[in-house]
Structure 1
């Protein structure tokens, strides 16, 4: 009988974790959509005002990649763009790292 109650408790706990994780994913997806809309609006405003934002200079990043210094390239990308670690690592990977 005690094992049955223990298993029921574990099942309820697992269910609660799954439900809370799913809710968090939905919140993140909703925030991603909102951020995308804000970025679209900012792009439209900048275009309307004639503001052209230059792309960040990535020559240093590319040079470090050519030398095989991937970690330093990620660090340089983060400094040039303000990206977080994952974004920078993904971008450096796309650049040929």
Structure 2
């Protein structure tokens, strides 16, 4: 009987944790979708106004590129800017394409 109660308690706790996790994931996905929409709108407004943003000064990223550490440069760019993988890879590629670093 005691083993059954312990098992039942464990199952209840595990179920509660799963429900809480699913709810948190759902909120995170909703927030991500809303943020992506806001970013697209902001990009459209900037494009329409003819405004371009300068790339942030990233000496550590440039140093990594000089060392031939492109993957680490992309990772560092992402950490510093919060950019996604494609955006960071494109930015690092543009840095390396500018010529001698």
**Is the shorter-chain TM-score for this pair beyond 0.5, marking a shared fold?**
yes
Alignment TM-score, normalising by the size of structure 2: 0.64
1:35 offset after TM fit, Å? 0.1
**What do the CA deviations read for 1:39-96 (whole angstroms, capped 9, x no partner)?**
01100111111111122344541323544785xx839x62xx3x39xx79xx58xx6x
Map 1:24-39 to 2 at 5 A.
24-39=24-39
RMSD over aligned Cα atoms:
3.3
What SS is found at the alignment partner of 2:7?
helix
Number of residue pairs matched?
Answer: 85
5+ residue gaps, structure 1, are: none
Match in the other structure for 1:15: 15
Segment of structure 1 superposing worse, 28-37 or 52-61 = 52-61
What SS is found at the alignment partner of 2:14?
helix
The verdict on how the C-alpha distance between 1:47 and 1:65 changes in structure 2, with shifts beyond 3 A counting, is: closer
Alignment TM-score, normalising by the size of structure 1: 0.67
5+ residue gaps, structure 2, are: 93-101
1:15 offset after TM fit, Å? 0.5
Match in the other structure for 1:61: 61
Runs of 4+ residues deviating >6 angstroms: none
The verdict on how the C-alpha distance between 1:68 and 1:52 changes in structure 2, with shifts beyond 3 A counting, is: closer
